[in-house]
Structure 1
């Protein structure tokens, strides 16, 4: 496709991240969600769902992808100490007026191979 020569339908792009207490606290400060399950006085902190989802947006940023729609289903909690992997699959590519239309399927799994998030996104990579 013009402007996206290396992207192919069916291609899977991956990113990994180890989740730390410091990451969760920084995200809580950034967005203002300081729920006690995210910042407990004792025990492990639960990562924000949108923090978990942001791993997929890292892939979008590498592609200069402009999202028009995102949908997420949060299936399991992600805890401090977990390592998660985003798998973003190119579902469709099309020519649109402003560039290349892209549809992605998203799955994020934890270190045990359990799916913690499933979703999708549509948008454009501008030429």
Structure 2
């Protein structure tokens, strides 16, 4: 690795940095995701007296919002879905930069992810590796 090449594609991207995003889960957002993904399982559709359950990948997409901010291109993602997310929940993602390295295409990035609900309960944990191109 050349000592003159910066490993940080953006001045604020540092090992240990925590990036955050939050969203309120709505019936409309779950329905839109169901249409886009083609997953219209009953549990994802609101019925009178019952909340809709968000798709796991809809929940995980909160981490991709953070990735978009740093122009991250994922090469690998791994998710563990810990509890359901319901319409009306507020979910918060904490994406931690675990490692940075020089790779041919730019800066290699390793991330860990934890998404919690409004009660502070973890609903998803994961990790991802990818690149931020120079």
| TM class by smaller structure | over 0.9
- Following the alignment from structure 2 to structure 1, what is the Cα–Cα distance between the partners of residues 98 and 56? 23
Equivalent residues in 2 for 1:98-117, closer than 5 Å = 98-117=105-124
User: Aligned residue for 2:53?
Assistant: 46
Q: How far 1:2 sits from its partner (Å)?
A: 4.7
- Following the alignment from structure 2 to structure 1, what is the Cα–Cα distance between the partners of residues 102 and 62? 26
Matched, 1:126 2:121: no
Contiguous gaps of at least 5 residues in structure 2: 1-6
Matched, 1:63 2:70: yes
- Among 79, 90, 97, the alignment partner of 1:72 is 79
Q: Structure 1: which 4+ aligned runs deviate by more than 3 Å?
A: none
Equivalenced residue count is 127
Cα deviation 1:58-90 (Å, max 9, x = unaligned): 000111100000000000000000000000000
User: Aligned residue for 1:30?
Assistant: 36
Contact 1:107 1:119 in 2 (8 A): yes
User: Aligned residue for 1:16?
Assistant: 22
Q: Which has the larger radius of gyration?
A: 2
- Following the alignment from structure 2 to structure 1, what is the Cα–Cα distance between the partners of residues 17 and 52? 33
Cα deviation 1:6-53 (Å, max 9, x = unaligned): 211111000000000000000001111000000042310000000000
The Cα RMSD (Å) is 0.8
Contiguous gaps of at least 5 residues in structure 1: none
Alignment TM-score, normalising by the size of structure 2: 0.92
- Following the alignment from structure 1 to structure 2, what is the Cα–Cα distance between the partners of residues 47 and 74? 11
